[in-house]
Structure formats: C-alpha cells, structure tokens
Amino acid sequence: MTTYPSQRQRWTRQARHNFLWGLLFTFPVIIGLLWFMLYPIVISFYYSFTSYSILGRYKWIGASNYLALLEDQNFWISLYNTAYFVIFAVPLGIIVGLGLALLLNIKVKGMSVYRTVFYLPSIVPAVASAVVWAYVFNPQYGVLNNLLRFFGVMGPGWLASPEWSKPALIVMSTWGVGSLMIILLAGLQDVPQELYDAALVDGATWWPRFRHVTIPFISPHLFFTLVTGLIGGFQYFTQVHVLTNGQGGPARSTLVYSLYLYQNAFQFFKMGYASAMAWILLVIVVICTALVFRNLAGRVYYGGA
C-alpha cells in the first residue's frame, strides 16, 4: 500500500516565530484598517436602513431611505449633473492629457522644464485651484472674459449662469490633467522606435502611425486613465463645494452627487439618508466600471503578454 506525503506541512518553529513577530508588527495597521475602513463600510450599510441624525438615536425604517430617494427631485438632478460632468470631463481630460503628452514627447531643448510647468497644476491643492478659478470665471473682471472681450466676444456668466456653470467645471477640470499626462507620456516612451521606422519605410503618414502603432501600445495607459477618471468623476466634490459655497448653484446646476450627499449628512443631519446615497453611488460606479471592463478590456494590447 503506497502512502503519499501530506501536502499540508507543519510549520517549523522558526516559521511560527517569524509569523508571530510579523503579526505583532503589522497589528497596528490591521487594527487601523479594520476600525477606519471596514467598520465605517459595514456601519454605513446598516445606517442606510435607519433614520439617524447623528445628534440622536437611530431608528430602523427598512428601505424607506432608498424609496424616498426615488421621489427626491434633488437626487435625480444631482445624478444628472454628475453624469453630465463624467461624460464630458473624463474624455476631454484624456484627450488634453494625450495631446500634451505627445507634445512633451518631442525631443527639443529644455523639455524637462516644459514637462515640469505642465505638471505643476496637478499638484496644486484643490481648494487653492478652485479659489483661483473663481477669479478666472468672474463675469465682470475675470481673466477669461477679459480675454474674450479683447477678441470682441462677450463672455458668458460662467458660474453665475445655469447654462454655463457645468461647462465651466469641465473647463476647470482640464487644468489639472498633469498626472494623466505623465502616465500617458510614460506609455509613449515605451513604444518601440523600430515600429515607427518600419511604418515610415512603408510610407505611413502621421495618422496611420498614431492609429496603428501609438494607440495600441498606450492602450493600457488609456484604459487605466479612463477607469480612474470614471471613478474620480463620480466623486467630484471639492472644487464645486468651494466655488458655490456648498450650495450647488445657480439653480442647482452644479449640485453634483457628492455635494448633495454631503449636504444631507452634515447640513441636514440625515445620516441614514446620506448612507443610502453612498451605497447607491457605489452600485453605480461598480456597474459603470464593469461595463467599461466588459467592452474595452479585450481591446487593450499588453505588448504581446
């Protein structure tokens, strides 16, 4: 009768000793993750089924918060404003970032200075940049409208106009594409030069080279920026909060989803209602991300991997 050695081997004394010491040193981090991440996630899901105002005791109300959201006009307005921002700002940011990356990939003297200049806006704090753009968008003495007047064009009201407030936020979002630019620039520098040389020998102009050589090789970077931009776009909050003083005006035209969630949680003290909004936002982001993966992940080229 043949006996086979057990695949489950016992730990040696030294392995057990190393594990216990490793657990001891990582114990503070584990406790921090459980307390500051896992616990808030679990308790927010529970609070989404309660009536909780922070100041008093919570009361179980079942799915009433979710049903009330379906009848909340501000909820649908905030969802529309957020979708509008994501649909236009994310692709525009990728296009602008790719355009800058292509320009900064050209070998000219002083390119490191140019790259630094274009990257700097992305590391400016969001609050500081929003304050600067508040002056830029001022309809009376703002830099943007003064520039348009120089060319004989009467500038719009921007953040003071319900029609132009969302386009203003989209324009402002393109100012901080430096991080996307760096990611795409790294992808451009990984494209094999011999493929460009072979395309030139075959008589390919710049557009076929860009379409059939550049795009396939930087497709992982484009896919990454799309997914992260999609997730970040649905959480857009800081700039619109600063620019509108937390109100989402004018006429609720900039009332994005995260701002309305913040209002319910910390202005109206409807924490259960806000928790329900947070979980709905999670479901929306997961569905949109899954759709992107399903439709685009198969088109990404990973360099023969």
Q: Which tens digit of pLDDT belongs to each residue from 155-192?
A: 899 999 999 999 999 999 998 899 999 999 999 998 98
Predicted TM-score of the model (pTM): 0.88
Write out pLDDT tens, residues 36-92. Answer: 999 999 999 999 999 988 877 889 999 999 999 999 999 999 999 999 999 999 999
Q: Which CATH class is domain 66-299?
A: mainly alpha
Do residues 204 and 118 lie in contact, with contact meaning Cβ atoms separated by under 8 Å? no
Q: Specify the DSSP element, H or E, that contains 50.
A: strand 50-51
pLDDT band at 2 (very low <50, low <70, confident <90, very high): low
Write out pLDDT tens, residues 207-238. Answer: 999 999 999 999 999 999 999 999 999 999 99
Do residues 223 and 240 lie in contact, with contact meaning Cβ atoms separated by under 8 Å? no
Percentage of the residues of the chain whose pLDDT score is greater than 90: 65
What does the pLDDT read at residue 53?
85
Residue 1, pLDDT above cutoff 70? no
Instruction: Tell me, rounded to whole angstroms, the distance of Cα 34 from its chain centroid.
Output: 25
Coil, strand or helix: which one is 19?
helix
Write out pLDDT tens, residues 81-121. Answer: 999 999 999 999 999 999 999 999 988 888 889 999 999 98
CA–CA distance, 257 with 265 (Å, rounded to integer)? 12
Residue 121 neighbours by CB distance under 10 Å: 15
Residue 147, pLDDT above cutoff 60? yes
Residue 6, pLDDT above cutoff 90? no
Domain ranges (residues) in the chain: 66-299
What does the pLDDT read at residue 54?
80
Residue 140, pLDDT above cutoff 90? no
pLDDT band at 31 (very low <50, low <70, confident <90, very high): very high
User: Which two three-digit tokens encode residue 171?
Assistant: 């324009």
CA–CA distance, 80 with 103 (Å, rounded to integer)? 35
Residue 3, pLDDT above cutoff 70? no
pLDDT band at 9 (very low <50, low <70, confident <90, very high): low
Distances (CA, A) of 95 to 177, 181, 221: 10, 10, 13
Write out pLDDT tens, residues 246-258. Answer: 899 899 999 999 9
Sign of CA dihedral 74, 78, 81, 87: negative
Tell me how many degrees the CA angle 256-177-179 measures, rounded to the nearest 5: 115
pLDDT band at 8 (very low <50, low <70, confident <90, very high): low
CA–CA distance, 152 with 146 (Å, rounded to integer)? 10
Residue 293, pLDDT above cutoff 90? yes
pLDDT top residue among 239 and 2: 239
Distances (CA, A) of 257 to 21, 69, 191: 45, 12, 39
